[in-house]
Amino acid sequence: MHPDFEPIRLRSLLASRKGAWGLSLLLGWLTLLAVVGLLAISGWFITASAAAGLVVAGAYQFDFFRPAALIRLAAMTRTAGRYAERLSSHNAALALLQDLRCRLFAKLAKSPWQQGQVSAKQQHRLIGDIDLLDQFPLSVIAPWFWALSILAVIGMFYYWLAPSLFWLALPSLLLAGLALQALLSRQLVRLAQQDTELVEARKVFLLESLQMRAQLVIWQQWARRTEQFSASDQAYLQQHQYQQRVSSALLMWQQWGLGFGLLLLLWQGGVLVQQQQLDISWLVAALLAYLACFEILAPLTASATALGHSQAARDRLNQLGSAEPEPQAASLVLGTQSPSLQLDALQWSFTQAQPLTLNVQAGEMLLLSGASGGGKTSLLETLAGYLTPVSGRCTLNGEAYSQQSVRPHMAYLPQQFDLFNLSLADNLRLGNPQASDAQLWEALAKVALDDWAAAQPLQLQTPLGEYGLEVSGGQARRIALARLLLRQQAVMLLDEPFAGLDEQTAQQVMNTVIEHQRQGVLVVVSHSWPAGVLNLPQVQQIVIT
How many separate domains does the chain show?
Answer: 2
Let me know whether 49 and 154 are in one domain: yes
What is the tens place of the pLDDT at every residue in 298-356? 888 888 888 888 888 777 777 765 544 443 433 444 445 677 777 777 777 666 667 77
Least confident of 153-162, 239-248, 349-358: 349-358
User: Which residues face 391 on adjacent strands?
Assistant: 347
Looking at residue 120, what is its pLDDT? 45
| Nearest-angstrom CA–CA distance, 510 and 474 | 14
| pLDDT value at 242 more than 80 | yes
Question: What DSSP string runs through 383-438?
Answer: HHTSS--SEEEEEETTEETTSTTTGGGEEEE-SS----SSBHHHHHTTT-TT--HH
Let me know whether 258 and 153 are in one domain: yes
Let me know whether 314 and 363 are in one domain: no
Kindly state whether residue 30 falls inside one of the protein's structural domains.
yes
User: Which of these three, 270, 289, 319, is where a domain ends?
Assistant: 319
User: Which residues face 400 on adjacent strands?
Assistant: 395
Let me know whether 245 and 386 are in one domain: no
| Nearest-angstrom CA–CA distance, 213 and 127 | 27
Let me know whether 279 and 351 are in one domain: no
Looking at residue 66, what is its pLDDT? 81
CA 484 to chain centre: 25
- Please state the φ and ψ torsions of residue 68, each to the nearest 5 degrees: -65, -40
Let me know whether 225 and 277 are in one domain: yes
- Please state the φ and ψ torsions of residue 413, each to the nearest 5 degrees: -110, 100
Let me know whether 293 and 408 are in one domain: no
542: confidence class by pLDDT, cuts 50, 70, 90? low
| pLDDT value at 152 more than 70 | yes
Kindly state whether residue 5 falls inside one of the protein's structural domains.
no
- The angle formed by the CA atoms of residues 14, 19 and 23, to the nearest 5 degrees, is 100
User: Which of these three, 261, 286, 319, is where a domain ends?
Assistant: 319
Torsion of CA 379, 380, 384, 390, to 10 degrees: -10
- Please state the φ and ψ torsions of residue 392, each to the nearest 5 degrees: 75, -170
| Nearest-angstrom CA–CA distance, 31 and 50 | 28
Kindly state whether residue 301 falls inside one of the protein's structural domains.
yes
Q: Residue 466 in contact with residue 139, Cβ under 8 Å?
A: no
Q: How many Cβ atoms sit within 10 Å of the Cβ of residue 273?
A: 15
Let me know whether 314 and 368 are in one domain: no
Give the single-character DSSP code of 463. B
- Determine the structural domain holding residue 397 and report its residue range: 340-544
Let me know whether 14 and 129 are in one domain: yes
Least confident of 154-163, 188-197, 530-539: 530-539
Q: Are strands 410-413 and 399-400 parallel, antiparallel or unpaired?
A: unpaired
Q: What percent of the chain clears pLDDT 90, i.e. is strictly above it?
A: 1
What is the tens place of the pLDDT at every residue in 68-101? 888 888 889 888 888 888 888 888 877 777 777 7
Let me know whether 353 and 395 are in one domain: yes
Which CATH number does the domain housing residue 440 bear? 3.40.50.300
Which CATH number does the domain housing residue 244 bear? 1.20.1560.10
Kindly state whether residue 101 falls inside one of the protein's structural domains.
yes
Let me know whether 410 and 507 are in one domain: yes
Kindly state whether residue 241 falls inside one of the protein's structural domains.
yes
475: confidence class by pLDDT, cuts 50, 70, 90? confident
| Nearest-angstrom CA–CA distance, 265 and 168 | 7
Q: What percent of the chain clears pLDDT 70, i.e. is strictly above it?
A: 79
| pLDDT value at 471 more than 70 | yes
Q: What is the 3-state secondary structure (H, E, C) of 16-70?
A: HHHHHHHHHHHHHHHHHHHHHHHHHHHHHHHHHHHHHHHCCCCCCCCCCHHHHHH
Kindly state whether residue 332 falls inside one of the protein's structural domains.
no
Looking at residue 112, what is its pLDDT? 42
Let me know whether 308 and 353 are in one domain: no
Looking at residue 54, what is its pLDDT? 63
| Nearest-angstrom CA–CA distance, 27 and 159 | 26
| pLDDT value at 53 more than 70 | no
| Nearest-angstrom CA–CA distance, 72 and 406 | 69
Highest mean pLDDT among 121-125, 127-131, 279-283, 501-505: 279-283
Least confident of 36-40, 190-194, 337-341: 337-341
479: confidence class by pLDDT, cuts 50, 70, 90? confident
Mean pLDDT over residues 119-124, rounded?
Answer: 51
Closest by CA position to 495, among listed 335, 308, 315, 367: 367
Q: Residue 181 in contact with residue 300, Cβ under 8 Å?
A: yes
What is the tens place of the pLDDT at every residue in 283-305? 888 889 888 888 888 888 888 88
Kindly state whether residue 351 falls inside one of the protein's structural domains.
yes
Mean pLDDT over residues 266-282, rounded?
Answer: 87
Q: How many Cβ atoms sit within 10 Å of the Cβ of residue 252?
A: 11
Kindly state whether residue 525 falls inside one of the protein's structural domains.
yes
User: Which of these three, 319, 351, 370, is where a domain ends?
Assistant: 319
Which residues touch 117 (CB under 8 Å, ≥6 apart)? 385, 407
CA 245 to chain centre: 27
β-sheet with 539-544: strand ranges across: 410-413, 491-495, 521-525, 365-370, 539-544
| pLDDT value at 109 more than 60 | no
* pTM of the complete model: 0.60
Looking at residue 119, what is its pLDDT? 46
H runs (alpha helix) in 111-179: 120-132, 135-136, 142-161, 163-174
Q: How far apart are the first and last CA of the chain?
A: 44
Give the single-character DSSP code of 99. H
